[in-house]
Amino acid sequence: MVICKRFTPVILLLLASFSYLSAQEVTLSADKTKFSIQEQVRLTFTFTDIKNPPRQVDLELEEYFTVSGGPHSSSSYSWVNARSTSTIKISYDLIPKKTGKISIPSYTFTIGREQYVTEGFVLEVSPVEIVPDRELPLSFMELVLPKDAVYQGETFTIHYYLYTMERVVNYTTNPVTSMEGFIVDRFILHNTPLTDKKMIGGKEYTRAQIASLTLTATASGEFVFPPKTFRISVRRTTQSRSIWDDPFFGGGTSDININAPGDTVSVFPLPPGGGPYFTGAIGEFSLMTAMDSTRIRENQATTLRVSLVGRGNLQHFTFPEQTFSREFEVFEPRVRNNYKLNSQDYQGERTWEYILIPSKSGVYSFDDIRFTYFSIKDMRYKTLYMPLEDIHVFAGDELKGDYSNLSPEQVRLLSTDIRFLQMNESQCVDPSYAPLSDSRNWFGYYIAAILAVIFLIADFYIAFRNKNIKVIRYKNALKTAVTHFKQISHDLPPESILIKVETGIRTYLDDKQMHADDLPAVKDLLKTIETYKYAPGMLSNMQLDTLKDKALSIIEGIEAE
Amino acid sequence: MRRIIILLIVLPLSALIAQTGLNREPLFKKGISAYANEDYAKAQMIFHQLEQDGVSWELYYNLGNAYYRDGKRGYAIQYWEKAKLLAPAQRDIRHNLSVAQQELIDKVVLPDMFPLFRWYLNMQEHLPLHLPVMISGILLVFLTLTIGYARIKKRKEGIYPKKGVVSISVILFSLILVLHLITLDTGLKRQKEKYAIILDRSVNVLSGPLQESSVLFVLHEGSKVRINKEIEDKWANISYFDDKIGWVNLKSLGKIQP
């Protein structure tokens, strides 16, 4: 009895280790064992509690199948009765090449020192379609979860797929704005969805990823995604070919409502042991630090930049609080975000900037910057460390001449010194000089004002002249006529001189608003000109001068009257 | 007659030149030679003497240099800032200010700004105020010519010129408007906001205009502050980068604006 009691812990330990060992296994399964040659089948390898399983498997089934997709991998982690179980699945989509019974062989995996063997089984491929045509809808929806279980705080994305054999022209649905147990990071209805072809029941469907929903779990438990209705517009050809029903024979657009099925997801609480530097970060991250300057004066600020780069729930946590020396005044860090939401979760960089101001001189050492996150890949907490350089704080002018930590711009300025004196004065002004009250600067405005006045006067003048054109011409008639006659010279041919004299007289009469018929002298002169026009070559210069003088004397006579 | 007119113009001008330039120049050169002989106190004295008759950006600049070499950074920055008010685009002034600012104890990291806003503030700081006024004056001349030409053409020929004239007028008017807005904004800012430089090695900024008031924060020589209010020619309410406000004895400040 005493021996039994003594060996009890040993036996329990052996049993526990046996149960632990027995949990490690690799299995192979198919989603169906009977199907037609036009259908695809999914083979899944499940690695339970095995670290670092292979990322892909050489199936060696080329003789019987074509690989249409894969390897797809998914992982899950559960914590039941203080015992954790991790499961990693690798699956392949296969399309059969032959009909009949196909044996799937057993596969052997050597991981570490252990060897794991899967069981073989038989798949039956029939030559005819198993599912009758009438059971297949023209369009249907599918909800795809990246994995069956997630952790509380984890960000993940679910996708809605539309399978259709019709011509879809549009689709809509109500956006998801809230969901119990989750933060809705984004709901997006894809305008240009990713599409591919899928064979189902011997029919070829077009599969389109039309909507995605990114969520972050806030509570643990089982959560149900309810079915979601999508309104799909499809173009269908009309049955009747009546010109009245469908004048262009192009068919019409029909709206149909299709329900995407619901699904369930398990949200596990994070395992204990996150430590003081865990603030809820889940994903895969790396840590970087940079200090502006490590040699500074008292009361001079230096900036410490701490950057996290990676992917996961970047938006949903803060950086753990860090402790610095009491001699430093530390302000609330300024956060710079440079990340975006990709097809699964957040990816990018977050930087926290701490401004540190030392109050006393000395050499200061700091604790390492620490950050803990939960690694989805390794399913455990990881703590990142980054050591900081010592900061040398100098008193007063002690730093003068020490430029080792200055920026290139600062060094450039220091090395060039201030510039030399100005040798001459350009313009001397009153100490209270204001450029806007200096009239010289407004010179352009004065010119513009003068120009405006000139244009206004010209405008008024032209307007007045246009309005009183007859009066002006009446007044200026003599002046115009005299100027006209002065322009007549002997250089011109006689016929031109005759025309000019005639024009001069007629213009004068027009200006004076008179008629030649009312003035006998003018009438005679015009007759003489007409006579001369028959033989202009016979006219002497003297005759032409006499004619011009006569015309002028007649005009002066009229003016005198 | 023509000779008399020329004489009437030339004589007052030459008298003006003699008043402003000829008397100052030897003294200005004397200040420079004192500086060259490293007698910075004498150089300061001569330049200050010149300051009473009138100022120029070169005079303020040289005064700033003399103070800088004398180890008085606060005064140096004050006079360079004064020089910058008269000639904001001068590169020598900006360079010397940058050199001095590297040596300041008080440094503030300003938050990032929208690039266009940052560009506008930077442009405002370095903009000589007479420049937009002169440019808009020239543009106004062109606008007057364009509109006048169109109007006269309409009077003479009865038709307005083609669309080109309207487009040019609209562009010129818009440019003039923008330049006026910039001038107005910059002018008001420079007129309204009074700045000063801390002249003492370190100054306690107090919570009230009394010597017994509690110390809010400490500023050091060369820091630029904005004067919000002055009381009894003894105390000034100042703000340092807008968020830190307190009271300082006026003796510790060197005003930039007259």
Tens of pLDDT, residue by residue over A197-247, are: 888 877 888 899 999 999 999 888 888 888 888 999 888 765 555 555 555
Cis peptide before A261 (omega within 30 of 0): no
Q: Which domain holds residue B203?
A: 194-255
Query: Final residue of a domain: which of B173, B192, B211?
Result: B192
Q: What is the pLDDT of residue A18?
A: 44
Residue A397 pLDDT = 53
pLDDT score of A12 more than 60 = no
In a domain, B107, yes or no: no
Strand A278-291 with B224-231, pairing: unpaired
Tokens 């120009």 belong to residue: A451
Under DSSP, the state recorded for B127 is -
A195 sits in which H/E element:
strand A182-200
Q: Which domain CATH number covers B36?
A: 1.25.40.10
Q: What is the pLDDT of residue B109?
A: 65
Q: DSSP state, A138?
A: S
Give residue B11's identity as a one-letter amino acid code.
L
Mark whether B154 and B94 lie in a shared domain.
Answer: no
Containing A432, the helix (H) or strand (E) segment is none
Q: At B216, which CATH number?
A: 2.30.30.40
Q: Is the pLDDT of residue A547 over 90?
A: no
Q: Report CA-CA distances (Å) from A136 to A130, A141, A165, A202, A255.
A: 12, 13, 10, 10, 19
Which pLDDT tens digit goes with each residue over B104-125? 877 766 677 788 888 888 888 8
Q: Does any domain span residue B108?
A: no
Residue of B25, B32, B145 with shortest CB distance to A421: B32
Task: Give CA–CA dist B180/B158, Å, rounded.
Answer: 34
Q: Does B185 touch chain A (CB under 8 A)?
A: no
pLDDT-wise least confident of A22-36, A56-70, A293-307, A410-424: A410-424
Q: B129 falls in which pLDDT band (50, 70, 90)?
A: confident
Question: Which helix (DSSP H) or strand (DSSP E) does residue A29 occupy?
Answer: strand A25-30
Interface of B with A in 73-92 (CB under 8 A): 86, 92
pLDDT tens digits, one per residue of B133-158: 999 999 999 999 999 988 888 888 77
B79 shares a domain with B44: yes
| Residue B26 distance to chain A (closest CA, Å) | 10
> Beta A295-297 vs A391-394: how paired, if at all?
parallel
- Burial status of residue B16 (CB atoms within 10 A of its CB: 0-12, 13-18, 19 or more): exposed
- The whole-number average pLDDT for the span A432-445 is 85
Q: Does B221 lie in the same domain as B145?
A: no
The predicted-structure confidence for A247-290, as pLDDT tens digits, reads as follows 555 567 888 888 888 888 889 999 888 888 899 999 999 888 88
Residue A44 in contact with partner chain B when CB distance is under 8 A? no
- Predicted local confidence at residue B6, as pLDDT: 53
Residue A413 contacts B where some CB pair is shorter than 8 Å: yes
Query: Which range has the top average pLDDT, A75-84, A384-393, B244-253?
Result: B244-253
B175 and B248 within one domain: no
In this structure, are B58 and B137 located in the same domain? no
Classify residue A489 by burial, with Cβ atoms within 10 Å: 0-12, 13-18, 19+: exposed
Residue B110 within any structural domain of the chain:
no
Q: Which of A306, A332, A300 is nearest to A410 (CA)?
A: A300
| B3 at A interface, C-beta within 8 A | no
Where is the domain boundary, B73, B102, B131? Answer: B102
Does one domain contain both B48 and B27? yes
Q: What is the pLDDT of residues A491-502, one digit of tens each?
A: 888 888 888 888
Residues of A in contact with B137 (CB under 8 A): 441-445, 447-448
Average pLDDT over residues B189-200: 89
Mean pLDDT (chain A, rounded)? 82
Taking the CA of residue B258 and the nearest CA in chain A, the distance in Å comes to 6
More confidently predicted of A389 and B248: B248
Tell me: the pLDDT tens digits for B231-244? 878 899 999 887 78
| % of chain A beyond a pLDDT of 70 | 87
Residue B5 confidence class, pLDDT cut points 50, 70, 90:
low
In a domain? residue B88: yes
Residues B27 and B97 occupy one common structural domain: yes
Averaged pLDDT, B201-206: 89
Let me know whether B122 and B159 are in one domain.
yes
- Token couple for B258: 């007259």
Q: Is the model's pLDDT at A60 over the cut of 60?
A: yes
Give the A window 287-346 contacts with B, CB below 8 Å.
Answer: 297, 299-301, 303, 334
Quote the pLDDT of residue B134: 92
**What residue ranges in A331-482 does DSSP mark as E strands?**
334-341, 346-358, 362-364, 369-375, 380-386, 391-394
Read off the pLDDT of residues A156-180 as tens digits, 9 standing for 90 and up: 999 999 999 888 888 989 888 888 8
Max mean pLDDT range (A461-475, A512-526, B174-188):
B174-188
Task: State whether A426 and B58 contact (CB < 8 Å).
Answer: yes
Supply the DSSP string of A466-498, one letter for each residue.
HHTHHHHHHHTHHHHHHHHHHT--TTS-HHHHH
- Contact residues on chain B for A334, CB-CB shorter than 8 A: 111
B109 is a domain residue: no
Q: Cα(A465)–Cα(A462) distance, rounded to whole angstroms?
A: 5
Is B44 in CB contact (< 8 Å) with chain A? no
Q: Are residues B20 and B98 in the same domain?
A: yes
- Could you tell me if B184 and B198 lie in one domain? no
Considering only CB atoms, which chain B residues are within 8 Å of A419? 92, 95-96
Q: Identify the pLDDT of residue A4.
A: 46
Chain B residue with CA closest to A300: the answer is B105
Could you give the angle at which helices A520-532 and A494-511 cross, rounded to 10 degrees? 160
Residue B170 and residue B248 in one domain: no
Q: Are strands B244-249 and A391-394 parallel, antiparallel or unpaired?
A: unpaired
- Is the minimum CB–CB distance between B165 and chain A shorter than 8 Å? no
Q: Residue B97 pLDDT > 80, yes or no? A: yes
The verdict on residue B16 lying in a domain is yes
Read out DSSP for A455-466? HHHHHHHHHHHH
Tell me, yes or no, whether B200 and B247 share the same domain: yes
* A540: Cβ contacts below 8 Å, ≥ 6 apart: none
Q: B35 and A421 in contact by Cβ < 8 A?
A: yes
pLDDT tens digits along B172-190: 999 999 999 999 998 888 8
Question: With an 8 Å Cβ cutoff, are A455 and B148 in contact?
Answer: yes
Domain count for chain B, please give it.
3
In this structure, is residue B147 part of a structural domain?
yes
Decide: pTM greater than 0.80.
no
